[in-house]
């Protein structure tokens, strides 16, 4: 289900969807996204993800080109506390094809586990498999919650 799509003048885009079959949010980035666009896309996640109460995010950067983000400090200080408050706990980050520019894979070459578990992947299928494994043992919503207007996650 499409939640939102932010398109920039140069055609680059960040699309946020709720994958109903998989019960996770997916942020798909494409084109050449500069730092300002990356911050706008990250802020868009915070603005739109709340009603989903979803602990799982697949951050897909396969179609991204160039350096998209230069501030892991901003992510940790400003974005992460808000994302955690919305219930985010597992992030599968799929690196862009041009891996030399992917700041998260350069900053966190090993998995990061804490309040948030971040795993870096080179293939979307691997990221999806990991998120499915994270869903094992998670308490799922009741039938009443499933019938509400807000999709459970």
What does the pLDDT look like over 56-107, one tens digit per residue? 999 999 998 876 666 677 888 888 889 999 999 999 999 887 655 444 444 4
Of the CATH numbers 2.60.40.420, 2.40.50.140, 3.30.559.10, 3.30.750.24, which one belongs to the domain with range 2-135? 3.30.750.24
CA dihedral of residues 72, 79, 102, 16 (deg, nearest 10): 180
pTM (two decimals):
0.80
Give pLDDT, residue 105. 43
């Amino acid at each position: 289900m499409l939640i939102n799509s932010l398109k920039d003048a140069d055609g680059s885009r960040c699309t946020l969807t709720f994958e109903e079959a998989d019960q996770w949010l997916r942020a798909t980035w494409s084109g050449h996204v500069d730092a300002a666009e990356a911050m706008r896309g990250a802020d868009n996640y915070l603005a739109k993800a709340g009603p989903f109460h979803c602990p799982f995010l697949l951050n897909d950067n396969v179609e991204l080109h160039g350096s998209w983000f230069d501030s892991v400090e901003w992510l940790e200080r400003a974005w992460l506390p808000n994302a955690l408050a919305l219930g985010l706990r597992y992030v599968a980050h799929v690196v862009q094809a041009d891996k030399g520019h992917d700041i998260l894979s350069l900053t966190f070459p090993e998995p990061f586990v804490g309040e948030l578990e971040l795993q870096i992947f080179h293939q979307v299928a691997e990221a999806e498999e990991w998120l499915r494994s994270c869903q094992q043992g998670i308490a799922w919503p009741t039938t009443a919650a499933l019938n509400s207007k807000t999709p459970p996650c």
